[in-house]
Amino acid sequence: MLTAGQILQLIRNGACRTRKELIEHTGLSRSTITDRVDRLIDAGYIHECGVASSGGGRPPSVLDVDAARRLILVADLGATHARVALTDLAARTLAEERTEMRIELGPEAVLSWVRQTFQRMLDRAGRMPDEVCGVGLDVPGSVDQTSGRVIRSFLMPGWDDYPVGEAIAATYGVPILVENDANAMALGEWWSTWRGSDALLLVKVSTGIGTGIIFDGRIYRGVEDAAGNIGHVRLNEDDDRVCTCGSRGCVASLASGHALAGDLGVGSSRDVVRLVQAGDPAAISRVQEAGRTLGVVLATAISLLNPAVLVLSGDMAETGEHYLTGIREIVYRRSLPYTTRNLKIATGSLGERAAIVGMAVIVMEHVLSAASVDAALAAEPGTVG
């Protein structure tokens, strides 16, 4: 006996568009389907949106997710910026705001701005907090998926073990999901551009280096939520430069935006991008060298994971082909031909918005999952979230 939540999945994935199709597909009685569908409509998960063609008699009503009725709030917290957005339940952005903000200011200051901006966007949209059905935040560090706490980050002093989810839940009594930024970016790029690919590897190169891995539309996190930490693979332990993790010779100490900025005598990875875009030969040469350095590790990752797509994102994706050229050179040279035969290597299509899109998708998938829907209907019929 399929639950209402499972019926919703059939509607979401396009397997069934009408009550008649649900009856035929599931073998359930008309009264059971009517009960399930009516409960989903009353709770605001789905609505009737037109009619389907009919072979005779009254045309059946088409069922679809009621994406406009409930809202999602998401925040992308980087090392030097913060971006928040208000989306509908189809992960479509309704409002967005960005500011320059260093995450090292600490959780109280950063999350206070996030909460204030969330409320400001709701006010401008003329919507109420009780219309929010889920909140998502991504951070540049590893996150415990159960507690919503940051468990490991070298770019976030003062954040370790901080209850990020609890700090937001005090304002919104809805599911609060916290994720690593590279994971969110990878899912955002996959969702927007590469949904036909079974495996995607995204490498984010900004202040630091992080990687997100997508298999079959799902984030791969590893057993300790630490998958993708290639920035701290050691390539040359005799190198004088000390990484943010305290070790020497890490990829991040050699090829990250922070490392490049130090080598070129500028303040940040954004300044490196500006030098490259202005045609500075020293900056271009150093960026290409950094791409080759990262390519050494990525060649191993590609041989191990055999993804269909490798996406470069973050600030270095804005250097045009320069950073990517270095990656391509080494990846193709050091990988077996059959592992790269159909590999697509590209810059991200969403730019700085990749994590916002990814977080909205993460929250959407959670809120609309069969388990979440059935739990919500059982706890409080007639409501969402």
Q: Domain locations in the chain?
A: 4-66, 71-184+354-375, 196-349
CA–CA distance, 354 with 48 (Å, rounded to integer): 31
- The type of residue at 363 is V
Q: Give the chain's residues under pLDDT 70.
A: 53-57, 380-385
CB distance 74 to 364 below 8 Å: no
User: Can you point out the beta strands (E) in the chain?
Assistant: 46-51, 61-65, 71-77, 81-88, 93-100, 132-139, 142-144, 149-152, 176-180, 199-205, 209-215, 218-219, 309-313, 344-347
pLDDT at 130: 92
Ranges assigned E (strand) in 115-187: 132-139, 142-144, 149-152, 176-180
Please give the pLDDT value at position 343. 96
Helix (H, G, I), strand (E, B) or coil at 154: coil
Grouping H, G, I as helix, E, B as strand and the rest as coil, residue 332 is: helix
Closest listed residue to residue 362, CA positions, set 89, 170, 142, 166: 89
Longest dimension (CA), the chain: 79
Strands (E), 92-239: 93-100, 132-139, 142-144, 149-152, 176-180, 199-205, 209-215, 218-219
Give just the sign of the alpha carbon dihedral 125, 127, 129, 132.
Answer: negative
CATH of domain 196-349: 3.30.420.40
71-184+354-375 shares its CATH topology with 196-349 = yes
In CATH, the number for domain 4-66 is 1.10.10.10
Instruction: For residue 133, report the phi and psi dihedrals to the nearest 5 degrees.
Output: -110, -5
Helical pair 281-305 and 322-334, crossing angle rounded to 10 deg: 40
- pTM to 2 decimal places: 0.92
Note whether 373 and 4 are within 8 A (CB).
yes
Sign of torsion over alpha carbons 138, 140, 145, 148: negative
Yes or no: domain 71-184+354-375 corresponds to CATH 3.40.50.720: no
Nearest by Cα to 7 from 382, 380, 377, 379? 377
